[in-house]
Structure 1
Amino acid sequence: MKHSDTLIKLSIKGEENHWPLSFIKVFNNLQELNISLSFINEDEDFEYFKDLQHFTFPHLRKLNVNLPTKFEPIVVKFLENNGENLEEFQSRCKCKNSSINRAVNDHCPKLKSLHTIFGENLSGLLLRNIFKKCKKLESIEIFRRGSNLSGKELLKIVAENSPKNFHELKFHNYYAELDVEDLKSFFISWKKRNPQKSLTLNFKNVGSKKNNEMKEIINEYEKIGVIKILKV
């Protein structure tokens, strides 16, 4: 196939895709793969898509997937085959992501950036293990979807267990449950880290909770360079 050796980035997007994906296996030098598909009928049997789990791309560095729930096992198998050299992984799959997060923990040791969904079965232990296994992780974005992991516990784990080069935390649907003491405790713990590195925080889906005390404690630690707030 023409350009099979020179193509390094591929995006497959659309509401429906009924074409076999076997054509992409010839792109041996692929470095970035984006697959975003939404299906009108999720009960349909997508046999043509299952080939993806058997493909290997030795140079793949970035993977972005946004797929229906039933594709979770395929994504897991794909990570087993291609996670070794991944540096950036984004999962917006419409599922609980439990097995995908475990696959990240088991098969993506060189990951630097992770965007994932925390479903109801995600525990603090798994997040700690991800930090332990992914020693190069610098940034994580967490979308909360029914997770029992509280915002206070999440911040504690980040402060105590994230790798030494970690410097960016983005989280959705956590800010409203945090109070001043939660933030202060986190900022104090982060300030004590060695080596000291300024942390960029991005609170998303904030809602209406934004009192003066919260703003004051954020401003205090932002002024001394402990944190940098992108959005509150």
Structure 2
Amino acid sequence: MSRQLDYDCLDKIFEYLEEDKTTLHSCLLVNRLWREVSVGILWRNIWSFKYSNRVDVISQILSTLIACLPNGSKDLLFKNGIFIETPTYKPPLFNYASYCKVLSVHKIDQMIEYVLENHHIANSSKYLLLQEILKMFMMNQIKSLKSLDYYYSGGNPKRDYYIHFTGFPGAKEYLRNLSELYCSSNIYFKFFHEISQICCNIRTLTIRFKDIISNGLENLIFSQKKLKHLKLIQDPDGMCWSEIIPSLTNHSIKLTKLYLCSYSVNVPLSFIGKYFKTLQELVLSFKSEEAFLDNFDQLQYVTFPRLKVLKFLDECPRFEVLTNFLETNGKNLEELYVANNDNSLNLDIAKFCLNLKSLYTIFKEDEVETLRAILSNCQYLESIGVWCDGEYLNEKEFLENLAKYSSKYFNELRICYVYDGPSEIFPEELEEFFINWKNRIPRKPLSFIIKGCCVKSFENKKENLDVIEKYKRLGIIKKFEIEKFSEE
């Protein structure tokens, strides 16, 4: 007699598939129990769906939301000439909108615009359709929306284009426990004033700075009581965040993660050392080398006693300045990401950052001794990411040293390919590395990630993939992935 897995067991299994929307969608079709378990996980954040057929997926999501609309909304849309086919004329099996813990006004707006264009419906109908869908979310008896994504991509939004969804019935209860907000600085000012009154416990706040900073944004920031993570992104033509810095002083002790991204030259960083010395994570993504060279100097001698994670995603400070910073703060770092590097800085990493668990850095082809120094000195290192083509480190030498000198905790290897050439490593060399890894005592199973713009190194080298599969079966490799840079 066959036995079925119960609801709780299936729920735990499907949780691991949360990012794999395609597989979760397939689970809907197995039977009633699988459908009941998977539907909530699938729709929790439906906007993160990675689709291969843009038209089909966008149309399906939007038509399903329209099917969930109350009859009054459907009649209003029909009277205004908005008719989009739904999966069924009967009421849907589930109230799909009620499962959404993430609401992306921006994504819904994009979906509506895309579908209206494909149905040859006037774009002037967009705001009515968006209004009715948002109204449905607010009235859906959900008491705890987790995340709201709402930003305006244009210039100065006109008042007529702002949908006053915070005033819909049920909106205050729906938004009260919001913990994540993603917004742009140019949203109509009433939104910021209303959200400030409703939501005071936002923990993660992301602001994309456009060419306007609306009144009320400062008050929104100041009014938060539990803000832990702050991300400020300045668009190429956007204003700088200088204007809102006074409102950040209220969070000087509570803030643990700060992410700054800017294209501008005149970007202040001194406020970090003044107000946020208790940061645990600092991520800087600066597109202008000139701005970064001048501004990070202000932080080189500041002590951050709790700093565990430091990332420079694009331009880096001058190496002598970063050396001063690492000499002061390197001993506490557990994760370091440096996208632009030289041998002297790598030697400083080996000298000052002895407690690292994760490192992403760049080694040139003549820096094998420096790699060896880092692997030997950083005895808690669990993960490393390097580049291995062109002028950078040779794959064979890298793997040989990794197997010989890496710490007993090491378990994750990331190799990035910048160029589009073939892999220089041969199957027998790859196999030798895994044999050496197999014989390590103690040994941890490896996660092996290959990354690049056009990753032909392994995709088109069947013999290397065969070696990978062999050691996956033997349990030496825990996970193997090939990623594109564009997937980040």
Q: Give the TM-score category using the shorter length.
A: 0.7 to 0.9
Larger radius of gyration: 2
Partner of 1:29: 278
The DSSP-based 3-state class of the residue aligned with 1:5 is: coil
- Is 1:218 aligned with 2:468? yes
User: 2:465 and 2:314 mapped to 1: Cα distance?
Assistant: 37
- Counterpart of 2:378, as a letter, is C
Q: CA deviation at 1:120?
A: 4.8
Q: What corresponds to 1:102 in structure 2?
A: 347
The structure with the greater share of residues assigned to strand is: 1
CA distance in 2, matches of 1:109, 1:33: 19
- Aligned pair 1:124/2:368, yes or no? yes
After alignment, is 73-82 or 149-158 more displaced? Answer: 73-82
> How far did residue 208 of structure 1 move?
5.5
CA–CA separation in structure 1 for the residues paired with 2:465 and 2:389: 26
CA contact (8 A) 2:311 2:338 kept: yes
Identity %: 37
> Normalising by the residue count of structure 2, what TM-score does the alignment of the two structures yield?
0.44
Task: Establish whether residue 71 from structure 1 lines up as the match of residue 349 from structure 2.
Answer: no
Structure 2 unaligned residues grouped into runs of 5+: 1-248, 483-488
Shift of 1:49: 3.4
Q: Is the 8 A contact 1:172 1:203 kept in 2?
A: yes
Distance in 1, matches of 2:318 and 2:388, equals 20
1:151 partnered with 2:400: no
Q: Report SS of the residue matched to 1:201.
A: strand
Alpha-carbon spacing, 1:188–1:58, altered in 2? closer, same or farther (3 Å): same
Within-5 A mapping of 1:105-184? 105-121=350-366, 123-144=367-388, 146-147=390-391, 149-173=393-417, 176-184=423-431
2:262 to 14, 17, 20: 14
Residue 331 of structure 2 corresponds to 84
Equivalent-residue separation in structure 1 for 2:317 and 2:291 (angstroms): 10
- Distance change in 2, residues 1:148/1:63 (3 Å): closer
Aligned residues: CA RMSD: 2.3
Shift of residue 5, structure 1, vs aligned partner: 1.5
Q: Which moved more, 1:190-199 or 1:2-11?
A: 2-11
CA distance in 1, matches of 2:322, 2:373: 20
Which moved further from structure 2: 5-14 or 187-196? Answer: 5-14
- Preserved CA contact (<8 Å) 1:76 1:99: no
The change in CA–CA distance for 1:200 and 1:47 in structure 2 (over 3 A counts) is closer
Tell me, what secondary structure is at the counterpart of 2:331? Answer: coil
TM-score by length of 1: 0.88
Question: How far is 1:17 from its partner?
Answer: 4.2
| Structure of greater relative contact order (alpha carbons < 8 Å, 6+ residues apart) | 1
Structure 1 residues 177 and 186 mapped into 2: Cα distance closer, same or farther (>3 Å)? same
* 1:185 counterpart residue number: 432
Report the counterpart of residue 4 of structure 1 in structure 2.
252
Q: Aligned equivalents of 1:18 and 1:120: distance in 2? A: 36
Residues 182-207 of structure 1, C-alpha deviations (whole Å, 9 max, x = no match): 11110110000001211111122331
- Cα distance in 2 for partners of 1:197, 1:49 equals 38
Count of residues in Structure 1 that have an aligned counterpart in Structure 2: 227
| Aligned CA distance change for structure 1 residues 146 and 79 (closer, same or farther; 3 Å) | farther
Q: Supply the distance in 1 between the matched residues of 2:324 and 2:302 (Cα, whole angstroms).
A: 10
1:62 aligns to 2:309 (yes or no):
yes
Q: Deviation of residue 172 (structure 1)?
A: 1.4
Q: Distance in 2 between matches of 1:83 and 1:134?
A: 12
The C-alpha deviation readout for 1:93-142, integer Å capped at 9, x for no partner, is 3xx43232122111111100001122355x21111110111110000011
Q: Answer whether contact 1:113 1:139 (CA < 8 A) is retained.
A: yes
Bigger proportion of residues as helix: 2
SS of residue in 2 equivalent to 1:2: helix
Question: CA 1:46 to 1:219, structure 2 compared with 1: closer, same or farther past 3 Å?
Answer: closer
Structure 1 gaps of 5+ residues are: none
Letter in 1 for 2:456: G
